[in-house]
Amino acid sequence: MIKDRIVYINGEYVPWEKATVHIMSHSFGRGSAIFEVISLHATGSGPAIFRLQAHIDRLFKSAELLDMELPLAKEDLYKAVAGTVKRNRLQKGFIKLICYYPEFSIEILPPQKQLSVSVFAIDPEQDLGRIGLPFEEGTTLFISNWRKLDPLTVPIEAKASANYLNGMVARLEAKKNGFENAVMLDTQGFIAEGGTESAFLVKGNRLMTPATGTVLKSITRMSILEAAKTVGIDCFEGQLKPELLFEAEEIFLSCTPFKVLPVRQINDRKMENAPGPLTRKIADLLDDIGSGNDDRFKDWLYPV
């Protein structure tokens, strides 16, 4: 159960109930936390963390963009993450790093530059009683009226808690309209991304996704593109007009928890035969990589 989990905080492993900060902390009041969500996979040689180095690199980039300081070197963070997984005896699930300012503050600027570091590791099936949306069922998608944060307003490359209010309001709008997920356009009117997901379209056997610059540099997105190219799938990154959402033969979302999630309906358009063949091919490829069955990508898995 989740209350039995062990959490890493600033060099110590503490019980779940001890992983707390004061309500008046700066990161709670101002949204000034940065984080990473990483998947943990069961492989034939034991549990392995998916692209840990890439996630830690992005965490450091988030800190740099927001003038924050992490108190640990990258290698020490690798050890903290692996140590948290080991202490929770997990074979699969998710890991969340949250770096935050725990100190009391009412000012807009944080009280200091150095962050506190925490690492959580859970198995959603064991701890939350769910395993996410089933691949074969897919999801429904609503084109939100809310626009993706513009890169001239905040550093959107930073995976910061405050930035996710943007995705939250889009998802809430989708839910009120009877849909499960949302897709946002950027301030120029091109397809951007979902609330917490990257968007992919397939047209003419070509895989298309919005270019980075107005969207988060998603590690799952990057992994899909890199893996797809190795099996001969034609990939395109660029500005995508919203009309493509009604012309594409296949649409899917991607993020850490589910890697590939087919879209069966977008607004009033029902997608035929979802998941489509290219979506299924990419999902199978990512499954093989995560389970350690594709030697071409074995360096993506960090053994615990």
- Tell me how far the alpha carbon of residue 213 is from its chain's centroid: 17
Q: Determine the pLDDT at residue 135.
A: 87
Q: Determine the pLDDT at residue 272.
A: 87
Q: Determine the pLDDT at residue 131.
A: 63
Which residues make Cβ contacts (< 8 Å) with residue 282, sequence separation at least 6? 207, 224, 227, 228, 233, 252, 260
Q: Determine the pLDDT at residue 133.
A: 65
Question: Average pLDDT per run of 10 along the chain, which is 304 residues long?
Answer: 95 97 96 98 97 98 98 98 98 97 94 96 90 82 98 95 97 98 98 97 97 94 98 97 98 95 97 95 97 96 97
Q: Determine the pLDDT at residue 59.
A: 98
Q: Determine the pLDDT at residue 94.
A: 96
The pTM assigned to this predicted structure is 0.95
Q: What is the 3-state secondary structure (H, E, C) of the chain?
A: CHHHCEEEECCEEEEHHHCCCCCCEHHHHHCCCEEEEEEEEEECCEEEEECHHHHHHHHHHHHHHCCCECCCCHHHHHHHHHHHHHHCCCCCEEEEEEEECCCECCCCCCCCCECEEEEEEECHHHHCCCCCCCCCCCEEEEEEEEECCCCCCCCCCCCEHHHHHHHHHHHHHHHHCCCCEEEEECCCCCEEEECCCEEEEEECCEEEEECCCCCCCCHHHHHHHHHHHHCCCEEEEECCCHHHHHCCCEEEEECCCCCCEEEEEECCEECCCCCCHHHHHHHHHHHHHHCCCCHHHHHHEEEC
Please name each of the domains of the chain with its CATH number.
2-127 (3.30.470.10), 139-290 (3.20.10.10)
Q: Determine the pLDDT at residue 3.
A: 93
Tokens of 233: 């799938």
Strand-pairing partners, residue 181, are 141
